[in-house]
């Protein structure tokens, strides 16, 4: 089996971040007021898995609290997100599914309720890359398509998968609401 090494992980994560960064800071002001632009947010999430992830795939609840900085009206607006998902088969190696809901609350008022209905998940040498796709179903940006990209490295040792399991992690998140 081929080892990808830390350099390969850095290249893969860098490529995903670069691709996402070209989308994230587009003209955000129009989308928050109902126009034809896009809204981009970057942030950090803290996730919890219940039960903890092990090598054995099993149904798992995933919850994440996210802090965002969103581009709007030529300035950055803080926001928070709360994400929940029921993965039918999740383990340290793979997550089946990708559906879930996220509520984004913007500083100064307003929110977006997002439903994710698909995802691509990749783990390379311990690094996690998840690209979720969905739609804003309520609130700011209602009807807009959404792409959410999550990247990160586990904080716990991989040996935790063999014992008590991974209880959670911190990841970088990019959120793009397209017109």
CB atoms within 10 A of CB 86: 12
The pLDDT value recorded for residue 68 is 98
Cα–Cα distance list, 115 to 21, 25, 119, 133 (Å) = 22, 22, 12, 8
The pLDDT, as a whole number, for residue 28 is: 34
User: Following CA atoms 13, 16, 21, 24 in sequence, which dihedral angle do they give, to the nearest 10 degrees?
Assistant: -120
Q: How many separate domains does the chain show? A: 1
Per-residue pLDDT, 21 = 38
The reported pTM is 0.77
Buried b (16+ CB within 10 A) or exposed e, 47-64: bebeebbbeebeebebbb
Output phi, psi for 94, to 5 deg: -155, 160
Could you list the residue range(s) of the whole structural domain that residue 60 is in?
A: 5-178
Of 45 and 121, the one with more pLDDT: 45
């Amino acid at each position: 089996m081929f080892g990808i090494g830390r350099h390969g992980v850095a290249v893969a994560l860098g490529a995903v971040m670069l691709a996402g960064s070209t989308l994230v800071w587009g003209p955000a002001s129009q989308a928050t007021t109902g126009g034809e632009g896009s809204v981009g947010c970057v942030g950090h999430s803290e996730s919890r898995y219940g039960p903890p992830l092990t090598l054995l795939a099993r149904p798992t609840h995933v919850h994440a609290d996210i802090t965002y900085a969103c581009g709007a009206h030529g300035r950055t607006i803080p926001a928070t997100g709360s994400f929940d998902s029921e993965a039918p088969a999740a383990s340290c190696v793979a997550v089946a599914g990708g559906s879930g809901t996220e509520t984004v609350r913007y500083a100064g008022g307003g929110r977006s309720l997002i439903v994710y209905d698909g995802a691509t998940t990749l783990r390379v040498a311990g690094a996690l890359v998840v690209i979720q796709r969905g739609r804003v179903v309520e609130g700011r940006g209602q009807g807009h398509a959404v792409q959410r990209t999550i990247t990160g490295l586990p904080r716990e040792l991989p040996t935790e998968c063999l014992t008590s399991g991974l209880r959670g992690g911190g990841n970088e998140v990019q959120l793009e609401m397209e017109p």
